[in-house]
Amino acid sequence: MDSRGSILLRAAEIASVDGLEGVTIGRLAVELGMSKSGVFSHFGSKEELQICTVHTAAEIFAHEVVMPGGALLDLADRWLDYSKRRVFPGGCFFVVTRSEFAARPGRVRDALMLFNLRWISLLERLCGDAQMAFEVDALLAAADRFAVLYDDASAYERVRLALRARIAMPTGMEMSVATANDNSIASHASSTS
């Protein structure tokens, strides 16, 4: 991995614990054994570093959760496993950062919002129902936060049971299946920088 990739991976790990505001050029320089100017030269500003970190996290998320494809429960199971395995040490990068930037206008919020809109759109397509997509996203986020806060992995199984029960409820529409082409969560986010 090149130095830019190493910087962004470490930035995403930090952000999952301390939020994107916890990601600083100075901190990354110290943790990666680089000079501040060496880190700064890759991004030019803290905001650009944060946006690139969002794009990196989106690519990792797409690889871990979306690209293998499958039906809604397949995606949900991979999402729960992604959180449980602590792909990012603080749990789901996007659960942490979308809360942090929800009320802050600007380019970082826009990048997070774009990712989230694409994620919800994918869930809506797989569910065939906007309300169910909202509930699935909320359950996944709840599992992540409960498991991280209480260091209690039982939340993942509890949410799996809740999802199966919710999906069994009729919505009046057929469900779809995710495909490798749904990788757009990462590729579109990356093209906005």
Digit-coded pLDDT (tens) for 34-86 = 999 999 999 999 999 999 999 999 999 999 999 999 999 999 999 999 999 99
pTM equals: 0.86
Q: For 78-110, write each residue's pLDDT tens digit.
A: 999 999 999 999 999 999 999 999 999 999 999
CB–CB of 70/180 below 8 Å?
no
Beta bridge partners of 70: 178
- Helix 130-150 vs helix 154-168: crossing angle, to nearest 10: 170
CB–CB of 80/71 below 8 Å?
no
